[in-house]
């Protein structure tokens, strides 16, 4: 396993620095049930408006249900399908767009679903797994094939598994996989006191 720690302007939590979205999964190593359960637990305890927990996650574990896993794989765009076929677990994150307690629209549902998803991914990182969230999937197809209820919005597909050894990364993926991680400077996205104001 190899790391690509974030190079930060000040120290941050090591778990946050180590989390990154690689694409080189070991197809021979399934994810242990207890580790997958821990990832789900982390998502379950994420923050949410009114404590509504406006999310559902459809877990497709190839070692438990290959047909469901294949269904998830077929929902991905071709570019993602090429590498995600090696990930033993694919999870579809779905936002529940209305509050259960009053049936009103939940403006924060997608935000909260994202919070649950990153909690899941950070837990995966802590357990030595790699998690990669993808927007490149056919949401309409996932609604149809998984029978997703009305007022629910598929948000992302998440690949989870063990990273392959550095020497086993295919040549066509090496440039992407080994390139340094980049982020824009803080000043471009974080303002102090008013819009556009630097520190």
The reported pTM is 0.95
Strands (E), the chain: 55-61, 89-96, 130-134, 152-161
Per-residue pLDDT tens over the stretch 125-170: 999 999 999 999 999 999 999 999 999 999 999 999 999 999 988 8
Per-residue pLDDT tens over the stretch 38-83: 999 999 999 999 999 999 999 999 999 999 999 999 999 999 999 9
DSSP letters of 45-103? TS--GGG---EEEEEEETTT-HHHHHHHHHHB-HHHHHHHTT-SEEEEEEEE-B-TTT-
Per-residue pLDDT tens over the stretch 70-119: 999 999 999 999 999 999 999 999 999 999 999 999 999 999 999 999 99
């Amino acid at each position: 396993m190899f790391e690509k720690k974030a190079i930060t302007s000040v120290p941050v939590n090591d778990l946050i620095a180590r989390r990154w979205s690689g694409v080189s999964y070991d197809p021979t190593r399934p994810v242990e049930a207890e580790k997958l359960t821990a990832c789900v637990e982390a998502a379950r305890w994420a923050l949410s408006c009114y404590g509504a927990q406006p999310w559902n996650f459809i877990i497709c574990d190839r070692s438990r249900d290959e047909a469901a896993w294949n269904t998830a794989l077929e929902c991905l765009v071709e570019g993602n399908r090429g590498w995600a076929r090696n990930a033993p677990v694919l999870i579809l994150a779905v936002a529940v767009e209305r509050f259960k307690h009053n049936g009103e629209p939940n403006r924060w549902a997608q935000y909260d679903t994202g919070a649950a998803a990153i909690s899941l991914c950070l837990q995966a990182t802590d357990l030595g797994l790699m998690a990669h969230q993808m927007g490149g999937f056919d949401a309409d197809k996932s609604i149809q094939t998984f029978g997703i209820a009305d007022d629910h919005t598929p948000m992302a597909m998440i690949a989870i598994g063990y990273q392959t050894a550095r020497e086993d990364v295919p040549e066509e993926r090496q440039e992407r996989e080994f390139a340094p991680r980049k982020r824009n400077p803080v000043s471009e996205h974080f303002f102090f006191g008013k819009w556009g104001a630097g520190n």
